[in-house]
Amino acid sequence: MWCYVVLFAVAWAIGWFLRDRQIISRVSDKHVFITGCDTGFGNLLAKRLSRKGFHVLAGCLTQAGTENLQKDCPVNLKSILLDVTNRESINKAVEWATTEVGDRGLYGLVNNAGVANPIGPTEWMTLQDFKKVMEVNTFGTIAVTLAFLPLVKRAQGRIVNMASVLGRISANGGGYCVSKYAVEAFSDSLRRDMQHFGVRVCIIEPGFFRTAVTDLDSIERSLQKLWDQMPPESKMTYGEEYFQQYLKVQRLIMNFICDPDISKVPMCIEHALQAQYPRTRYSPGWDAKFLWLPVSYMPSFVVDAVLGFVLPKPHYRVH
């Protein structure tokens, strides 16, 4: 019996490997719209896809972002200002993209735009802190997707949403993990709805990479601001030592885990766009594959114990 199980497993693995290597033959007639192209993953992805022959429509938050990207990629790339939290800005982008793609429709939509700060202990946050992050990561992704969906359906194309390994395991407080959990849920329901129209939906779950989102200076400034604005009574329950230890742990984690090779993420997005049979989920980064994903399948009490061991302890706590 075990021989049959092994043979089945080997046959399945070989079949999966062969399917995974099949890619579409022609990209020169395909348009891809990417959000958040000023820096990081989106910027690198736009450049890589333009070199491959895709017609890239790049959404940037800043004028400098559009100009720099256009200068770097004079062929196969056009850029536009886009604020994913602004309905009027999204509508203008859709109108522009509709003119660019014509009757063919939009082959690919990549929802890459995202922010992280503020992150930190939950009690340090205000409701506005949560809204600030979710407005971009969650509602921005949803708003852009719904606005571009008719164009994607016309092309029977692909939608690639940027989630995170922290959309599987909530390792810190603030809106980031909450927003990425929501992106996962939205993408799953969208995938099931869109399969009837030939539209594929993929989720990218990166580990920690050296980008603006994981910039230590930015994170520490944000944490300092949260600490300074806390009510004295709440601050006293944590203690100054807790704050300093929290900063130290953040530095250790970021310096140890963050992968400097950010090209691993665009490579996964490229596969999601080019593969005949794209995967439902991609998890680029060694920490995603060997740390966060395995931990996400563990019982909650185990995860709580591990994180409780790593993170500092407040000054006042129940023993």
Positions annotated as catalytic residues are 176
* Pairwise CA distance, residues 202 & 204, whole Å: 7
CA 12, chain centre distance (Å):
29
Nearest partner of 202 among 263, 137, 111, 293, judged by Cα = 111
Contact 159, 170 (CB under 8 A): no
Q: How far apart are CA 186 and CA 275, in angstroms?
A: 22
The answer to whether the CB of 175 falls within 8 A of the CB of 132 is yes
Whole-number Å distance between alpha carbons of 307 and 113: 28
Q: Produce one character per residue of 189-203: b if its CB has 16 or more CB atoms within 10 Å, e if not.
A: ebbeebeeeebbbbb
CA distance 35 to 204: 14
Q: How many angstroms separate the CA atoms of 85 and 123, rounded? A: 26
Kindly give, in sequence order, each residue whose CB lies less than 8 Å from that of residue 3, ignoring residues fewer than 6 positions away.
Answer: none
SS3 143: helix
Phi, psi of 21 (to 5 degrees): -90, -5
Q: Which amino acid is at 42?
A: G
- Which stretch of DSSP H or E encloses residue 240? helix 240-257
Within 10 Å of residue 286's Cβ, how many Cβ atoms?
Answer: 13
**Which residue in the block uniquely carries the two structure tokens 């690639």?**
160
- φ, ψ for residue 26, nearest 5 deg: -130, 130
